[in-house]
Chain A
């Protein structure tokens, strides 16, 4: 009883510590993105106020008043350190400003884009977990066998193939040759499948090898041989003793893969014209739409932090050894 309570306070302290670290990371993301975007407004060539006014009202409608209004709104008439502190203050109030291109609040725009991005990345994650570790476990059951060598070859090729090329190959195969799936866009039925598969295959190429190595270790371990010796069938031993131990490194490695996921979302959304946040970020860079760049980069960064926190939680849940 006493020991239990001691344990639970230790768990709580660890969880709070991990949570605090992630919150700090989120604050760092905001600080970094905000500061970079602030300097972006200052470093663009030409008179920023006129450029933005032209972007917002059209090139024929730019007047001095419009430029002055933009100048005041963005603090372009003040020294940079004052403007920067005001910029941070606004960020702190979650005031992300208006898109310079559509003149809608950035938060509204992001509200439209967050759903597709989350759907795409979660489906990609789920697909990669269905493909990668399954293939890895099957390969690890017979190290050196034909399946092991085949998955190694496929995973090396997939890892050397950048996501934008993989996406292109899938489009050529499924959309152009077979005509089975839409090549791009959001409206058609099944449009999510190709971008999700592109991301998932890249992720699975790594998680497959992680799972394979973990499975080989489990296979060699004494507890696994004992489970087999006492008469469990292979599938029983796998379900009771093997899979959780394989899952620990796979999930821990998910943390590393999140970088691949977030970077991949930006590229894959752009290629497939998937109306998500990564697509919006690239197009905001085309349009020099600094508030949108800031908003989308911020949300992608925060998504990265949130997913990381979820991976932390999953690791703690799977592996009780770290808890005490």
Chain B
């Protein structure tokens, strides 16, 4: 994880050569993204609106996924659930990646005590498995969106910090950066021309794993009942709510399972073959 080789950069730069798996991953993700982005607008049904008389009603043309155990439109709930999962994942990954990148850069740039203190901070976060940290923060304010978001971002930023710091130490000491410095270019130029292009592939890979981890953590906590709470249309919550009806209406519990599986599989397949292997 510590050093960037030329081939790492080349693999991602050769974007024209999409492998079969990568295209499949992209398609899966696009399908989920379409559901999350367009779904809630097109369907335009309140996911909390109950028609109790229609509970567990089978799929029809008007309601392609039927109604759930409380007579709520399953498709609307699914679309809102996908939107919730994806937006939480995107927001928490971005708010982990940006500070992680900046702090890692700062550590590598300054060195000395700054670096040591920041590395100790990262070690403190790494001492606990990420999900435990999220669980403990979720226990601080149960059922809320914010503790999940803060917990996932807190658990994720360390990876960016570590990768950026390790790569920048090598990069900043390299002859080309030295030449830039001798020519009188400032930090902004060096970051833009030397650091970002070299680190981007690594950062994108980390983001893919981070997105998968965030979606997974949220649904896992929802599933065991310590994440978001029932009226919320969240994928994990929906799975555990609908599980008792799997004999009568297997499509109901199958739908959130499929969306989660498609998201995770898409993110996994999207990585270059070398990492997926």
Q: Which of B134-188 contact A (CB under 8 A)?
A: 135-142
Which candidate, B95-103, B108-116, B198-206, B221-229, is the interface stretch facing chain A?
B221-229
Q: How many residues of B contact A (CB 8 A)?
A: 38
A33-B128, A37-B136, A297-B135 given; A162·B216 CB < 8 A: yes
B residues in contact with A259, CB < 8 Å: 129-130
CB distance from A284 to the nearest CB of B (A): 8
CB-based contact B127/A165 at 8 Å: no
CB-based contact A156/B276 at 8 Å: yes
B residues in contact with A271, CB < 8 Å: 223-224
Pick from A25, A163, A209: contact of B277, CB under 8 Å: A209
CB-based contact A164/B261 at 8 Å: no
How long is the Cα–Cα vector from A113 to B268 in the complex, in angstroms?
35
Central interface residue in A157, A165, A267, by most chain B CB within 10 Å = A165
Judged by a CB distance under 8 angstroms, whether A43 is at the interface is yes
CB-based contact A156/B140 at 8 Å: no
Judged by a CB distance under 8 angstroms, whether A180 is at the interface is no
CB distance from B220 to the nearest CB of A (A): 5
CB-based contact B139/A293 at 8 Å: yes
Q: How many residues of A contact B (CB 8 A)?
A: 47
CB-based contact B127/A305 at 8 Å: yes
CB-based contact A165/B265 at 8 Å: no
- Which residue of the partner chain B has the closest CB to A26? B127
CB-based contact A29/B128 at 8 Å: yes
A156-B265, A160-B265, A282-B226 given; A43·B136 CB < 8 A: no
Q: Using an 8 Å CB-CB cutoff, how does the interface string of A98-121 with B read, 1 for contact, 0 for none?
A: 000000000000000000000000
Judged by a CB distance under 8 angstroms, whether A168 is at the interface is yes
CB-based contact A31/B132 at 8 Å: no
B residues in contact with A159, CB < 8 Å: 264, 268
Q: Using an 8 Å CB-CB cutoff, how does the interface string of B265-277 with A read, 1 for contact, 0 for none?
A: 1001100000011
CB-based contact B257/A25 at 8 Å: no
List of 6 A-B pairs having minimum Cβ-Cβ separation, nearest first: A160-B265, A263-B131, A160-B264, A28-B127, A270-B224, A262-B129
